[in-house]
Structure 1
Amino acid sequence: MSFEPQFPNLFAPEQGALPIGEPQPATEKQVRYAQTIALRTGATIPRRAAADRAALSRWIDAHKPKAPSGKFANYPSSKQVAFAERIARIKRREIPHECFRDKVMMSKWIDGNKPR
């Protein structure tokens, strides 16, 4: 028994996804970040992308710098370590040594010890 008696072809694959309303304009933060990427890479931002939030997001994803890779790619950043050390001083706690070798562990330690 099929459940399509009243609305045949309602979920037909050829229908595709339809946009819901007008595209939203890009945010100021999005535009600034895209301009920074464009200056560093020499790429140009298409006009259509600058006016549409989703299109600009796709452009940013395609042109943003790749994540670092290599021996130290999993180490926490200097800002992350400094923030964790500041929390440790406030809370009078030690940061586990493993956290200095893994940015995910450092992030979890920070989230668990942030002053509220």
Structure 2
Amino acid sequence: MSYQPQFPGLFSSDQGAVPAHHHDDSHALPATPKQMQYATSLAAKTGAALPKGIGADRVALSAWIDRHKPKPLEGRFADYPSSKQVGFAERIAKLKRTQVPQECFRDKTMMSRWIDSNKPR
């Protein structure tokens, strides 16, 4: 026998949904230092200016980042690892005196897993 606690009105339909974030500047959380660092580097790379005071609103900065970050690759080579991934994996392989498996060069997820399991600690 199990006991089912009762909470009257907890899930009543008349409550409606409560928004997770009000667009009220007095309740906005400030951007994190990592967000600001990434947004600043994106602004420098793309030439897009950061709006004045955007660091005071984490959600607004996140939306700005989403609009300005590089779009993921599409097409035939979308699943291939980046040149940085390949270079990093080859440096690890050299240190460990081994080779990166050939299938990792055709799948960025496999390359990432190989790097994670082989990188020096």
Band of TM-score, shorter chain: 0.7 to 0.9
Equivalent position to 2:7, from 3, 13, 21? 3
Identical-residue share of aligned pairs (%): 55
TM-score (norm 1): 0.72
Partner of residue 15, structure 2: 12
Question: Is the 1:48–1:55 Cα contact (8 Å) retained in structure 2?
Answer: no
Q: Does structure 1 residue 84 correspond to structure 2 residue 89?
A: yes
Q: Tell me the distance in 1 between the aligned counterparts of 2:43 and 2:85.
A: 27
Q: Distance in 2 between matches of 1:98 and 1:37?
A: 32
Matched with 1:71 is: 76
| Alpha carbons of structure 1 residues 87 and 64: separation in structure 2 relative to 1, 3 Å | same
Number of residue-to-residue matches in the alignment: 113
Amino acid at match of 2:15: A
Deviations 1:55-104 (A, max 9, x none): 20122113322111122121111111111111111111121100011111
Unaligned runs of 5+ in 1: none
Cα distance in structure 2, aligned partners of 1:24 and 1:16: 15
Relative to structure 1, the CA distance from residue 71 to residue 15 in structure 2 (aligned partners, 3 Å threshold; closer, same or farther) is closer
* TM-score using structure 2 length: 0.70
Shift of 1:13: 1.4
Give the CA RMSD over aligned residues.
3.1
5+ residue gaps, structure 2: 1-5
The answer to whether the aligner puts 1:57 opposite 2:62 as a matched pair is yes
